[in-house]
Chains A and B, each alone.
Chain A
Amino acid sequence: MSWFSGARTRMQLLFGRRAAESRIDEEVRFHLDMETNRLMREEGLTPNEARRRARATFGGVTQHTETLREGRGLAWLGGMSLDLKLGLRMLVKYPGLTLVGGVAMAFAIWMGAMTFEMVNMIMNPTLPLPGGDRIVQLRNWDVEKNTKEPRALYDFVVWRGALSRVTDIGAWSDQIVNLTGADGDVRPVGIAAISASAFRVASGTPLLGRTLGAADENPGAPPVIVLGYDIWRTRFASDSGVVGRRVQLGDSFATVVGVMREGFKFPVAHDLWRPLQVAGTSTPGEGPALSIFGRLTPGASLADAQAELTVLGQRTSAASPETHKHLRAQVTPYVGSPLEASTSDQMLMFLFNFFAIALLVLLCGNVALLLFARAATRESELIVRSALGASRGRIVAQLIAEALVLGAGAVIVGLGAAGIALNRWAPRFLEINLDTVPFWYQPHLSIMTVLYAIGLTLLGAVIAGALPALKVTRGLGTRLKEGTAGGGGLKFGGVWTAVIVAQVAVTVAFPVVVFYERTELNRIRTFDVGFRSEQYLSLKLDADIGSARSREDTSAQLARLGSRFETLRQRVAAEPGVTGVTFVDHLPRDEHPGAFVELDGSLGTSEPRYVISLAAIDPSYFDVLETPVLAGRAFHAGDVAAGSQVVIVDKGFVDQVMRGANPIGRRVRFARRSRSGEVVTPQPWMEIVGVAKELGMASSVTRERPSGVYQPLSIAREPSIKMVVHVAKGDPLSFARRVRALANEVDARVRLSDFQRLDKVADPMLWIIGMWLRITSVLTGIALLLSLAGIYAVLSFTVARRTREIGVRVALGASRRRIVTAIFRRPLIQVGAGVVAGGVLVGLITVVLSARPDSGSAGLAVAARAFTLGQAGQIAAFAIVMMGVCLLACIVPTRRALGIEPTEALREE
């Protein structure tokens, strides 16, 4: 208690200095007034005399007040506050340094905070629900396959009935259905078929109507759904009368019973819920894929629940060894790191943070260089302070305080920028990288991140402040004795030389990274895909074909689905404005599957060694894309039949695999290689019947020219395909709504998604590269600024230090060239060494980027050989330009040096 109140008093003193000071003054004033009154009352003194006596009795008022102040620790605070004030004044006095150093620190803090927030969010997710840490998932883990066994209907029923340490046990399965909105628009949406207990576990309360109830789970209960806030807003125009309305879900109908509040997305990212109806009995290992959840009962720990579940799991394993022999029942927190299984991924995440901290250290090291140069120019002031009794620690503290003030500004700017970026960039970043973004991934500036950023700032301030402070105050006493105030005691030593060389090297190398990124961005953006992709609408077609009992059953279902797809094609093709409709399994510029091929009686070897890109296309593909085959023929309806062994290759294949020879009539076959490199299970031979143009048979980021092979696609055998619609006039995307309506007329179960214009396929990748481009551009700008400021500071320092020497040289008649050479030889060697090191770095980057990513060290060697004289010349030219840019920073100090008048320089002593 006494410790606590003592600590509280100290905290009050620390943060309420002004209040504490006025309290001391007021207490002393009160005391003197009371004593004065007493003396007037009891001894009949006049007011003036009474006050004089009171003051005399009290003793030296000022002295006592000071004693009190010191006792309260305010003296130290006063000193600190003075340091901070002085620091602020120095920042205003040197605006250039403040700007450069502040921007550099702010960027480093921004980068650190962003990385920490994203890594922490992914590595240590927490459920943003009341009591979220007590919500658990239950699962069967297959120890043989090292994966979750999803068919857990039987176990779900057993666990729900028997577990006492976990309550509100429920389950859900994911489905995608077509939902017809209030405006008649049909779109596929993810729906969770879920137990009613989900709404209790996740504390979900409805905005309108009710949530799902236990009665809805009974098989045969009337079909009902609950709408999510977003769907209600966008698809039902926030209609408050939506409860009670029947809506179409695929080919059936359900009644809306409620609308959830904004933000409710349990179990993952859901916006629509229907009851999970479970029949009374089930067989182990059968049923749909289920995820099971629950809440720990009050007082129960995860270990308690696990112990109970283990007993149940062992019982089932003993009773049904054929399905449960390898299964272990587990209870785990509801959200865990997706990377828990992989140490290398965890290491990668750690490396991200490490990289951000390394960047901070590097940038603050550069800021330290600037602060050192400034501290060096204040050497006389520091010597005087030292002479007046300031300890070395006191002077170091003052210089750190200056860096702290700079850091305080930087952390505000850095965190502000991080807040904006997390709001604007992070959601898009997650969307591109994850299929669905779970509701617990909510990138924002968390308290942890703010504290981390403050820690980074302190680290940065210590690096930027303490290093130069310790260096500049070393031997201060000796210098005082030698009377060399303002003399030549300080030098830029080895550490600073290394900092300058490294800084210039990085400055030279960064623009090259930016250049490569920009080149890549332009390459992807301006890639010629071989047809007028902006006139095409693409969409994904699939349907829930249900659980087939046999292969024949599946074939029959796929055939029925195929006929629906065909009908839809005819209906779409008949629309005005549509000039063609076709199907393909992988869109141009999407990732394509690869395979090894072997050529029949081939070019000297029968080893399958060619990597090709594969796509399956409808016979109408080349017609609809208006790219007629270059040789041979296109596919025709007969090729689609099962067992037909024909392929069409593209020009890339002809040039690279056939080395320009005529491929028509030649045979190829696919092969798979085992890990040891042996060929296994060769596929049947296929005849090449045609040659097509190159039509983007590789993902947008692939730089190599692909060798494409097309196979005929049968829409009656595919559960999911891409439809490509040629809309010659107007924006193809505006046709999407009509396609949806037609599909709904053909079969309400056919789901349409991923509508996009074919020239936009690479957009997500462009966005990611664009984001990195922006970050590296800013970093390049900062590196350049720091370099120029650093060189400028070093040269100014040199000129100031050697003013007298320059004066003497000029007086003795030295030429201007000789003076510049003599004075700037060392700094210029440093800059030159940095430029050379940067050039080498650029060469290395070029070699690495030219290497084929899949060919390892051999690729590097090939790329190194391909490192031509021309490229070397380009790098040399770039290095010279950078040298010139760096020398820009020398202009002012050089002019200053040359402008020194010998008489004035000598008089300075």
Chain B
Amino acid sequence: MTTRPQADVLRGSLDLLVLKTLSLVPMHGWGISQRIQQMSKGILEVNQGSLYPALQRLEKDGLITSDWGMTENNRRARYYHLTAAGRRALGVELESWKRFATGLDAVLKTT
């Protein structure tokens, strides 16, 4: 079986990935999708059409905020920042993901 890049990221994990990416540095939407791809070494590919609704959802929930900024190429772009509530949510999500992954791993290793 050949490995192929994950075409989509599960909705729950997309939120987690966005929060994690933004915890490093504020970024625009396209940047976030590129960053996730880079960090996952090309394994995870964000469906660009679901990225913006996710950003919008997180902003509505107060986990991130956004404002206009300039890119290195002097282009106007919408930059997203993590809020304090977002940082807290990231901690909780990470914890829960780790538990989930451990559980999953344990099940899969069972022979």
Query: A9: CB under 8 A from chain B?
Result: yes
- Whether B85 contacts A2 by the Cβ 8 Å rule is yes
Q: Give every chain A residue within 8 A of B62 (Cβ-Cβ).
A: 1-6, 9
A24 CB to closest chain B CB (Å) equals 8
Q: Give every chain B residue within 8 A of A72 (Cβ-Cβ).
A: 56
A3's nearest neighbour on chain B, judged by CB, is: B62
- Whether B56 contacts A31 by the Cβ 8 Å rule is no
Q: Give every chain A residue within 8 A of B93 (Cβ-Cβ).
A: none
- Whether B29 contacts A27 by the Cβ 8 Å rule is yes
Q: Give every chain A residue within 8 A of B47 (Cβ-Cβ).
A: 59
List CB contacts (< 8 Å) of A880-895 with chain B: none
Give the residue among B29, B30, B78, B85 with the most A Cβ atoms within 10 A. B30
List CB contacts (< 8 Å) of B35-71 with chain A: 47-49, 52-53, 56-57, 59-63, 65
A4's nearest neighbour on chain B, judged by CB, is: B62
- Whether B60 contacts A10 by the Cβ 8 Å rule is yes
- Whether A6 contacts B49 by the Cβ 8 Å rule is no
A350 CB to closest chain B CB (Å) equals 43
Q: Give every chain B residue within 8 A of A1 (Cβ-Cβ).
A: 62, 83-85
- Whether A71 contacts B53 by the Cβ 8 Å rule is yes
- Whether B48 contacts A58 by the Cβ 8 Å rule is yes
The interface stretch among A60-68, A574-582, A735-743 is A60-68
Q: Give every chain B residue within 8 A of A71 (Cβ-Cβ).
A: 53, 56-57, 60
Q: Within the assembled complex, what's the spacing in Å between the Cα atoms of A5 and B85? A: 10
Query: B75: CB under 8 A from chain A?
Result: yes
- For B69-93 the 0/1 string (1 means CB < 8 A from A) is 0000001111000011100000000
B85 CB to closest chain A CB (Å) equals 4
B89's nearest neighbour on chain A, judged by CB, is: A2
- Whether B49 contacts A59 by the Cβ 8 Å rule is yes
Q: Give every chain A residue within 8 A of B29 (Cβ-Cβ).
A: 27, 30-31
A13's nearest neighbour on chain B, judged by CB, is: B60
Q: Within the assembled complex, what's the spacing in Å between the Cα atoms of A67 and B56? A: 11
A42 CB to closest chain B CB (Å) equals 11
- Whether B49 contacts A2 by the Cβ 8 Å rule is no
- Whether B60 contacts A30 by the Cβ 8 Å rule is no
Query: A283: CB under 8 A from chain B?
Result: no
A16 CB to closest chain B CB (Å) equals 13
Query: A34: CB under 8 A from chain B?
Result: yes
Q: Within the assembled complex, what's the spacing in Å between the Cα atoms of A63 and B48? A: 13
Q: Within the assembled complex, what's the spacing in Å between the Cα atoms of A26 and B83? A: 23
Q: Within the assembled complex, what's the spacing in Å between the Cα atoms of A6 and B58? A: 9
- Whether B49 contacts A64 by the Cβ 8 Å rule is yes
Q: Within the assembled complex, what's the spacing in Å between the Cα atoms of A33 and B29? A: 12
Query: A282: CB under 8 A from chain B?
Result: no
B49's nearest neighbour on chain A, judged by CB, is: A59
With A1-B85, A58-B49 as known contacts, state yes or no: A26 contacts B76, CB within 8 Å.
yes
Q: Within the assembled complex, what's the spacing in Å between the Cα atoms of A357 and B3? A: 74
- Whether A68 contacts B78 by the Cβ 8 Å rule is no
Q: Give every chain A residue within 8 A of B65 (Cβ-Cβ).
A: 5
List CB contacts (< 8 Å) of A7-32 with chain B: 9-10, 23-24, 26-28, 30-31
Count residues of chain B with CB under 8 A from any CB of chain A: 24
Q: Give every chain B residue within 8 A of A35 (Cβ-Cβ).
A: 30, 48
Q: Give every chain A residue within 8 A of B53 (Cβ-Cβ).
A: 64, 67-68, 71
Q: Within the assembled complex, what's the spacing in Å between the Cα atoms of A71 and B60? A: 9
With A6-B60, A71-B57 as known contacts, state yes or no: A31 contacts B48, CB within 8 Å.
yes
| Contact of A23 (CB < 8 Å), options: B30, B48, B63, B78 | B78
Query: A81: CB under 8 A from chain B?
Result: no
Q: Give every chain B residue within 8 A of A26 (Cβ-Cβ).
A: 76, 78
Give the residue among A30, A57, A58 with the most B Cβ atoms within 10 A. A30
B67 CB to closest chain A CB (Å) equals 11
Q: Within the assembled complex, what's the spacing in Å between the Cα atoms of A10 and B48? A: 24
Q: Give every chain B residue within 8 A of A59 (Cβ-Cβ).
A: 47-49
List CB contacts (< 8 Å) of B9-38 with chain A: 28-30, 34
A52 CB to closest chain B CB (Å) equals 15
- Whether A27 contacts B78 by the Cβ 8 Å rule is yes
Q: Within the assembled complex, what's the spacing in Å between the Cα atoms of A549 and B16? A: 92
B52's nearest neighbour on chain A, judged by CB, is: A68
Q: Give every chain B residue within 8 A of A3 (Cβ-Cβ).
A: 62
B100 CB to closest chain A CB (Å) equals 24
Q: Within the assembled complex, what's the spacing in Å between the Cα atoms of A5 and B78? A: 17
Q: Give every chain A residue within 8 A of B78 (Cβ-Cβ).
A: 23, 26-27, 30
- For A174-204 the 0/1 string (1 means CB < 8 A from B) is 0000000000000000000000000000000
Q: Within the assembled complex, what's the spacing in Å between the Cα atoms of A270 and B15? A: 68
Q: Within the assembled complex, what's the spacing in Å between the Cα atoms of A38 and B65? A: 26
Q: Within the assembled complex, what's the spacing in Å between the Cα atoms of A461 and B78? A: 40
B86's nearest neighbour on chain A, judged by CB, is: A2
Q: Within the assembled complex, what's the spacing in Å between the Cα atoms of A57 and B8? A: 12
Q: Give every chain A residue within 8 A of B30 (Cβ-Cβ).
A: 30-31, 34-35
Give the residue among B49, B76, B77 with the most A Cβ atoms within 10 A. B49
With A2-B61, A71-B57 as known contacts, state yes or no: A30 contacts B52, CB within 8 Å.
no
Q: Give every chain A residue within 8 A of B56 (Cβ-Cβ).
A: 68, 71-72
Q: Give every chain B residue within 8 A of A28 (Cβ-Cβ).
A: 52
Give the residue among B47, B52, B61, B83 with the most A Cβ atoms within 10 A. B52
A72's nearest neighbour on chain B, judged by CB, is: B56
A63's nearest neighbour on chain B, judged by CB, is: B49
- Whether B60 contacts A9 by the Cβ 8 Å rule is yes
Q: Within the assembled complex, what's the spacing in Å between the Cα atoms of A381 and B60? A: 38
Give the residue among B34, B62, B63, B85 with the most A Cβ atoms within 10 A. B62
- Whether B28 contacts A30 by the Cβ 8 Å rule is yes
Q: Give every chain B residue within 8 A of A6 (Cβ-Cβ).
A: 60-62
Q: Within the assembled complex, what's the spacing in Å between the Cα atoms of A23 and B76? A: 11
- Whether B76 contacts A64 by the Cβ 8 Å rule is no
Give the residue among B29, B48, B84, B85 with the most A Cβ atoms within 10 A. B48
List CB contacts (< 8 Å) of A35-70 with chain B: 35, 38, 57-60, 63-64, 67-68
- Whether A60 contacts B49 by the Cβ 8 Å rule is yes
Q: Within the assembled complex, what's the spacing in Å between the Cα atoms of A235 and B84? A: 66
B76 CB to closest chain A CB (Å) equals 7
Q: Give every chain B residue within 8 A of A23 (Cβ-Cβ).
A: 78
B71 CB to closest chain A CB (Å) equals 8
Q: Within the assembled complex, what's the spacing in Å between the Cα atoms of A104 and B43? A: 69
Q: Within the assembled complex, what's the spacing in Å between the Cα atoms of A28 and B61? A: 21
A13 CB to closest chain B CB (Å) equals 9
A439 CB to closest chain B CB (Å) equals 47
Q: Give every chain B residue within 8 A of A60 (Cβ-Cβ).
A: 49
Q: Within the assembled complex, what's the spacing in Å between the Cα atoms of A532 and B57? A: 85
Q: Give every chain B residue within 8 A of A67 (Cβ-Cβ).
A: 49, 53
A11 CB to closest chain B CB (Å) equals 12
List CB contacts (< 8 Å) of A60-92 with chain B: 60, 63-64, 67-68, 71-72
Shortest beta-carbon contacts, A-B, top 5: A2-B62, A59-B49, A5-B62, A2-B85, A34-B30
Q: Can you name 12 A-B pairs with beta carbons within 8 Å? A: A1-B84, A2-B63, A3-B62, A5-B62, A27-B77, A28-B52, A30-B76, A30-B77, A31-B30, A57-B48, A59-B48, A67-B49
- Beyond the given A64-B53, A68-B52, A71-B57, please list 18 additional residue pairs across the A-B interface where CB-CB is below 8 A: A1-B85, A2-B61, A2-B62, A9-B59, A24-B52, A27-B52, A27-B77, A28-B52, A30-B30, A30-B76, A34-B30, A35-B48, A58-B49, A59-B48, A67-B49, A67-B53, A68-B56, A71-B53
